[in-house]
Chains A and B, each alone.
Chain A
Amino acid sequence: MESLKENNKGQWIALSGLVISLIIIGLAALANQAVLAGYHSSNAALEFPKENIRELNSHTRDNAKIIKDLSIELNATSNETISSIYGRLFENYSSQMKKLYATHGETVDLSLVSINSTNGTNGTYSGHDIDMILVNITYDDGTTLYVSDPELIEVKE
């Protein structure tokens, strides 16, 4: 190695190896930037929880109808008004959904805003003329927040 110290010609072969290595590292770093950008944008689209949100929405729509039918049925054999039965059942549904979503780290909130009827004033409708249910739906999985405030659900037969 004594010879290397004495030689002061510049060792251009080793130097060019170093230069090429540095160029490769630079290229890789640049390419990584581009890949990262592509990764993030397509990820956002592919990993958007569209199915979870749609399921929450469509299941709540189905339930608005199920609860309506059940309230009418229960009302026939009790003194409780339809709106109070509806409110109680919806509260029950909403708390079960909240707990089930919480088991996989998603926060949902479903709250009944109002029961609308074209004939009959609030609270005195006979049941079958209920035509629209208003519900607030909130979904949050940490990255995506979805709010429908209010969601209009048609329940007319």
Chain B
Amino acid sequence: MIDEKGQIAVDFLLGISLFLIALTFTVQFIPGMFISGSAEESSLDYTAYRTATVLVEDTGWWGNSTSSGTNWEDHPNNIMRIGLAVDDDTSSKLTNSPNLISKNKTEQLMLVNESVLIEKLGIYNNVDGTLFSYGYNISITQNDEPLLLNNTTAVWGESAPDNKDIAKITRVVLIEKGKIASFEGYDLTSQTASKATINITGPFEDNITIQISDLNCSYTDSAFLNATLDGTLLNRTSNYTVHKMDGWTASKYSGNLSNSDILRLNFDHDLFNASTEHRLDLRFRNVTLPTPGPPFARFNDHSSTHYEPTYMTVEVWQ
């Protein structure tokens, strides 16, 4: 009897331990098996995608009992939808310009209350009628730096945590950046040789840009020298910057100019605070400016809205 019981114990022990090892393995394996396919993750991807799409492609909408329109930035208390796409004609419902981002709308979005932002953009999960907001980070970047608008960085939400699954969507957009006037060499007027004169009437809300292409550079040492506003020599770093453009790539200008170069000058808007006509003289060396003045070319006649490519990134996590 005793002998028999002993034998059973060894047999039973081996059997039960094999079983338990397999059970432990199974229990450990099951949660890992299901986690990649959980439904929450897909809704995260979708939330990021939808948020980016709404911001980039929709103009937004405001409305109260009497009227409505796409210029929600002027009616922050009656926002119905938030969208950043430009609508240049608010009277028409047919204007849609996806991927063109309005500066005014973006600035207004910075002032919007966070709970309104989460609600209007739908950055939350609805579980049985209870709303759980997701963590989010929305940013507009240019050359890997957050964009500065009115000295505020275009970043919403908190920075993304490292230890969580993050759904991320990046969109390529053009953002409004003040006014630009493009001149070709023969558009520029001059009173004295190699000095182009442009009349500019202020004031401006944002920095203004003058782009010059097709300059007639007659010598190998042709160059841009300096800029004078109403007789005062301007400072090349604090008052204005000069870049050579190659497509969208800008590089700081220095050295000589050739016929195919495109020059872009960016002036601080504070220079033109008075609402009078300012006279801007651009001094070149060995550049032929064929059109005599006065009358001089006017910035305001050539100007249009200036757009630059930037990236909008939307990140969403649990």
A residues near B (Cβ < 8 Å) are: 13, 16-17, 20, 24, 27-28, 31, 34-35, 37-39, 41-42, 45-46, 50, 54, 152-154
Contact = CB atoms under 8 A, between A and B. Distances in A.
Contact of B23 (A20, A28, A45): A20
B10 interface: no
Contact of B92 (A38, A50, A154): A154
A17 B22 CA distance: 9
Contacts of A27: 30
In the A-B complex, the 9 residue pairs with the smallest Cβ-Cβ separation, listed nearest first, are A38-B39, A35-B37, A42-B42, A42-B46, A38-B42, A31-B34, A13-B19, A13-B15, A45-B46
A28 B23 CA distance: 17
A153 B94 CA distance: 8
Contact of B46 (A17, A31, A46): A46
Range for the number of chain B residues in contact with chain A: 20 to 34
Contacts of B276: none
> What secondary structure prevails in chain B residues at the interface with A?
helix
Nearest to A37: B39
Given A45-B49, A45-B50, A154-B94, 4 more contacts: A13-B19, A17-B19, A28-B33, A42-B45
Contacts of B94: 152-154
B37 A31 contact: yes
B43 A38 contact: yes
B41 to A, nearest CB: 8
Contacts of B39: 34-35, 37-38
B42 A39 contact: yes
A44 B151 CA distance: 40
Interface in B89-104: 92, 94, 98
Nearest to B98: A54
Nearest to B89: A154
